[in-house]
Chain A
């Protein structure tokens, strides 16, 4: 019997909470709200079991249950008559549901409290429309006209952008600009693997007041870290909204308080995202990065879009990986070995009207502060320090990627040094925090260091 369950996928997002009705063996009914109902196959759904509550006790005694869901597109209410079939504590269904719950819990600092104990699999015996909750007809007979964003044309347009982008930076910017132009996603960011294991670092963002280049995220934390850890897309639409908003606000406030002490850069992000979609960028089995889309519109990303989003993720991953490989190859070509340009020695006099800034390299923390404010740490910090020192000592104004790659003092990893991403990150961080120091690309694998302030360089232990 075809129940038509597939067509109800939009109901299973948790945007409008579902209600679950059960009955104990001695005949006492129970009504409860439910965070979400997961579609499994044409005749099964799964309900999350997070707390040992009355509903759970009841279905253990009496497997008959009723769940009511609402289609957020049409507002039509649906009633599913269910029978508990089994509980799963491992396997793909459990993992998928657990991931989504943990992603939200990690936002709230409640990881481990909001934890999936089991995925309860129910057979769906019947489906009917709820008569007192009739819906609106979808416009022009389409299910969801307003959000049908993943069209072949949009994918094609984005592909053209990627093909015509030369180099890593244009690829990243093209992706994010294209996601807004072709898909309408106004807020997005890309993070790439950080220097430390199990970390990600923001390299490009779009649509936020602050670019956040250099902001770090740890595996397992927030949607970004969960996507990296699980290597699976995560979509959050209205799930546990109240908790999410309250704790998101708290964690952001705390993040602000920690900035100066912990030398961190806040991740860009909406204060109250109503929907989020995180996509792992996987190329040839390697996690190249994570793409995060945010929206203030609830239910912006649909279940139907999952396959397209995964495809998009793998395509973007290949584009990024290819851009990085190509740049690294070209850096090694002889053409990139140009005679370093030399600038006149700085006159050292503040009388030229330029401002003076102190750039301090803290060796123990491996970080650079400008006028006492945190700029960046790790490899980008060491690169900046090398460039500024060379300019001061030798009067050099131009540098090549190749010489950086060969410089042992920078401690680049032997394999996959990701120099291009670190240089891009440094350039963007300087643009945002210290525009008096600029890295300006000159030719393939070559860039200039431009200064519009007099710098005093200080190295501290």
Chain B
């Protein structure tokens, strides 16, 4: 489902945010530090900063619905991954390096568009909760008339 090109984009170090919803159909959201595609290409693990994870994890626990949006500030390329919650666990120490690599990549992206990336280092990406999702669909979100079309 997630081919090499999509995997490379999702793991490149871009802006990642996850949206969920509660029982009253009200959205909740969190910034995401990193994402890693599983070997089976049908699952995705996102690393949600523990400090902001409470509402999102509660929603996932109840209804399992997630929408993760990825965007590359440099050229506004963006896509959305719709998924179903599989599991959540505290991220392991050996995953920290990858989370920080991707988060740094995002800060570098911000510097390419003139934002002082250094200043965003206040954002918290660790410790994180590793949330595993089953991927149901990937949708184009680059601004323009093609936004919303199915990518995978």
Chain A residues within CB distance 8 Å of chain B: 15-17, 19, 21-23, 25, 27-33, 35, 51, 53-54, 62, 64-66, 68, 72, 75, 77, 79, 81, 113, 130-136, 238, 240-243, 246, 274, 296-298
Contact = CB atoms under 8 A, between A and B. Distances in A.
Contact residues of A: prevailing secondary structure: loop
B12 interface: no
B147 A31 contact: no
A136 B114 CA distance: 18
A54 B148 contact: yes
A443 to B, nearest CB: 49
Interface of B: 15, 17-21, 24-31, 49, 51-52, 63, 65-69, 71, 73-76, 78, 80, 82, 110, 113-115, 119-120, 122-125, 139, 141, 143-145, 147-148
Contact residues of B: prevailing secondary structure: mixed
B25 A132 contact: no
Given A32-B80, A64-B24, A297 B114 contact: yes
Contacts, number: 132
Given A31-B17, A68-B17, A238-B113, A77 B28 contact: no
Contacts of B114: 238, 274, 296-298
Contacts of A274: 114
Contacts of A130: 31, 52
Given A31-B69, A238-B113, A25 B31 contact: no
A241 B123 CA distance: 23
Nearest to A66: B27
Given A33-B69, A51-B144, A132-B31, 13 more contacts: A16-B115, A21-B19, A27-B21, A30-B19, A31-B80, A33-B71, A33-B143, A79-B29, A133-B122, A133-B124, A134-B123, A240-B143, A296-B114
12 contacts: A30-B19, A32-B141, A64-B27, A66-B26, A77-B31, A79-B29, A81-B26, A131-B52, A132-B51, A136-B122, A242-B74, A243-B143
A32 B69 contact: yes
A62 B148 CA distance: 19
A75 B65 CA distance: 29
10 interchain residue pairs of minimum CB distance: A132-B52, A21-B27, A31-B19, A242-B76, A21-B19, A31-B69, A132-B49, A298-B114, A23-B21, A66-B27
A29 B113 CA distance: 29
A298 B113 contact: yes
Nearest to B117: A75
Given A113-B145, A297-B114, A29 B19 contact: yes
B67 A31 contact: yes
A176 B65 CA distance: 56
A26 to B, nearest CB: 9
Contact of B18 (A27, A31, A134, A241): A31
A75 B80 contact: no
A131 B51 contact: yes
Contacts of B66: 29
A242 B141 CA distance: 14
A64 B17 contact: no
Given A19-B69, A242-B76, A298-B113, A29 B49 contact: no
A253 B148 CA distance: 32
B117 to A, nearest CB: 10
Contacts of B18: 31
B28 A66 contact: yes
Contacts of A68: 17, 29
A64 B20 CA distance: 12
A274 B71 CA distance: 20
A134 B124 contact: yes
Which of B31, B71, B110 has the most CB atoms of chain A within a 10 A radius of its CB? Answer: B31
A133 B74 CA distance: 21
A23 B147 contact: no
Contact of B148 (A53, A64, A77, A81): A53
Which of A28, A62, A246 has the most CB atoms of chain B within a 10 A radius of its CB? Answer: A28
A132 B29 contact: no
B27 A22 contact: yes
Contact of A66 (B15, B29, B123): B29
Contacts of A21: 19, 27-29, 67
Contacts of B24: 64
B16 to A, nearest CB: 10
